[in-house]
Amino acid sequence: MEPNGKVLYINYEKCTGCRLCELVCSVVHDGVSNPARSRIRVMKWEAEGLYIPMSCQQCQDAPCMNVCPVKAISRDETLERVMVDYDKCIGCRSCVAVCPFGAMSFDTVDKKVFKCDVCDGDPQCVRFCEEKAVDYVDARELGTLKKRDAARRISIAGKEAAVLLAQA
């Protein structure tokens, strides 16, 4: 099944590491300015000097959904998002352990797992990211956007290589 909803598109090359997305997310969801309670996390790769926003990828075959022993995680077909039913969740954290993106977290204050819910179709991280490192796009366009970014990077690398060869 091809996704027909919208998904978060993260362009790490635009991220400045301001972490405003984390603060906005925690305020919107929990009423506190606390990055530890954010559904989007900005990871810093020190050696490379990169900031990488990480969030739930709303996987089609979601490992978190598959591993949940009480079936508390399901897919909302309307918004094409994976969501947690807190009335069913027992807080076992199996979903946290299997998420390949580290997008599932456990809130030690509320004693529950949490993940990006795309703010019910109006993600506030997108709204407040001044650099537009986070966007909310049609899932069918995602492949094209990624190919365009890859082609741009390859083109830049090719031009840099040509300059180096000309200097040699």
Residues 63-84: tens digit of each pLDDT: 999 999 999 999 988 878 899 9
Question: Do the beta carbons of residue 94 and residue 68 sit within 8 Å?
Answer: yes
Instruction: Judge whether 20 lies within some domain.
Output: yes
Name the residue range of residue 57's domain: 6-140
Instruction: Judge whether 158 lies within some domain.
Output: no
CATH code for the domain in which residue 96 is found: 3.30.70.20
In this structure, what are the phi and psi dihedrals at residue 62, rounded to the nearest 5 degrees? -65, 115
Instruction: Judge whether 91 lies within some domain.
Output: yes
Q: Rounded mean pLDDT of 34-40? A: 93
Instruction: Judge whether 119 lies within some domain.
Output: yes
Q: How far apart are CA 12 and CA 50, in angstroms?
A: 8
Question: Do the beta carbons of residue 64 and residue 104 sit within 8 Å?
Answer: yes
Q: How confident is the model at residue 5 (pLDDT cuts 50, 70, 90)?
A: confident
Instruction: Report pLDDT for 152.
Output: 75
Buried b (16+ CB within 10 A) or exposed e, 88-124: ebeeeebbbeebeeebbbeeeeeeebbbbbbbeeebb
Instruction: Report pLDDT for 118.
Output: 92
Tell me, what DSSP letter sits at residue 62? -
Instruction: Judge whether 156 lies within some domain.
Output: no
**What's the number of domains the chain is made of?**
1
DSSP secondary structure string, 87-132? TT-----HHHHH-TTS--EEETTTTEEE---GGGG--HHHHH-TT-
Sign of the torsion formed by the C-alpha atoms of 54, 150, 139 and 60: negative
Instruction: Report pLDDT for 48.
Output: 87
Of residues 155 and 75, the one with the higher pLDDT is 75
Instruction: Report pLDDT for 4.
Output: 55
Q: In 3-state terms, what secondary structure has residue 55?
A: coil
Instruction: Report pLDDT for 110.
Output: 85
Alpha helices, H only, the chain: 20-30, 63-67, 94-98, 124-128, 139-167
Instruction: Judge whether 164 lies within some domain.
Output: no
pLDDT in tens, 107-152: 888 889 999 999 989 999 999 999 999 999 887 787 677 677 767 7
% of the chain with per-residue pLDDT over 90? 61
Instruction: Judge whether 73 lies within some domain.
Output: yes
